[in-house]
Amino acid sequence: MYLYLIRHGIAEDPDFLIPNLIASDEIRTLTKLGRKNFTQVAHKFQKLELTFDLIITSPLVRARQTAEILIDNQLSSQLELSSDLKPGGNLSAWLTDWNARPPNTAISRLALVGHEPTLSEWAELLVFGKVCHKLILKKGGTIGLKFLDRQIGIEMAQLHCVIPPKYLS
Amino acid sequence: MYLYLIRHGIAEDPDFLIPNLIASDEIRTLTKLGRKNFTQVAHKFQKLELTFDLIITSPLVRARQTAEILIDNQLSSQLELSSDLKPGGNLSAWLTDWNARPPNTAISRLALVGHEPTLSEWAELLVFGKVCHKLILKKGGTIGLKFLDRQIGIEMAQLHCVIPPKYLS
């Protein structure tokens, strides 16, 4: 079982958000450059035949748009939203949800699209069992984890790859 | 300061070594496929303008040949050998040697070419302070570490990238 943690592409600057509008961070969109760069990443995934049986994304617009670029480039046909993937989302809550699903042997490559520092913290928990803030995950970057069987759990993964987006251009 | 730990390319199978010849592991050469694949990696490094101020390699033939592919592709003009980079080499011994050198501000991108599991163990020590055997470093793959200043030491690095060679083709 492979789990790919993908950070959203370059998005609008938070400094330009409408003051006092709480929801404004949620509606930040990818910039033109963010779309272009992440489309290059999607093309590289295509070339490598790295497809996903399911993509689960944070519901925030910049993450959803990133996931949709993967869908638009035929890297998956299945897209779900999970509020656990919002910034600061709790890994244990997501694991509880995930492990409560009926076992599905058709899913061996799962992608989660979200935010930092949440995704790299999740990766550290899944690999090392604790958060060390030692992994660098750039916008549009991917962390790949390998699990020896179908179960996803804390300290059960090996770190298969950490790919800054420039290596995927 | 960036430190890149690069595993040698695909080499001759150890099963074909001459029995009872102790030195035979030391003289295993890269296969034709190993040379071809790692030359692609070198070309990708060129495209990314990822050059090295110094490359230090294990003296074993398959590592030296890998390092020479980087040199032949103008990715560095400086090549040294270190027996600390042999399989099972001791990180503390290498750090003692490295830190005994006169400070050289011209070196901000250093590559070490060597073997597994030694390189991924060194990476775990430099990032997390202990060996967990959780990093996967394939033949021809690269681990990139970032140090906040010029000193290289245990638990002082961030993990910048882990790149399987297929992502560099």
pLDDT tens for residues B25-34? 888 899 999 9
- Sorted by where each starts, the structural domains of chain B and their CATH numbers stand as 2-168 (3.40.50.1240)
Q: Report ipTM for this prediction.
A: 0.92
Inter-chain touch A128–B128, beta carbons under 8 Å: yes
> Does residue A22 carry a pLDDT above 60?
no
| Structure confidence at residue B18 as a pLDDT band (50, 70, 90) | low
Give yes or no for a contact between B141 and B165, defined as CB atoms under 8 angstroms apart.
yes
Question: Of B119, B47, B48, B112, whose CA–CA distance to B79 is shortest?
Answer: B112
Among B137, B148, B159, the residue to mutate for chain A (most A Cβ within 10 A): B159
User: Average pLDDT for residues A131-145, to the nearest whole number?
Assistant: 97
Measured CA to CA, the distance from residue B146 to residue B138 in angstroms comes to 20
Q: What number of other Cβ atoms are within 10 A of residue B25's Cβ? A: 16
Asked if B7 contacts B18 with a C-beta cutoff of 8 angstroms, the reply is no
3-state class (DSSP) for residue B2: strand
Instruction: Answer for the pair B66, B55: CB distance below 8 angstroms, yes or no.
Output: no
Q: Do A159 and B160 touch (CB under 8 A)?
A: no
Cα separation of B89 and B82, whole Å? 10
Task: Please enumerate in sequence order all residues whose Cβ is within 8 A of that of A32, keeping only pairs 6 or more positions apart, or say none.
Answer: none
What CA–CA distances, in Å, run from A55 to A39, B94, B111?
Answer: 16, 43, 36
Interface-testing mutation among B2, B5, B41, B136, with chain A (most A C-beta atoms within 10 A): B136
Note the pLDDT tens digit of each residue in B49-76: 999 999 999 999 999 999 999 999 999 9
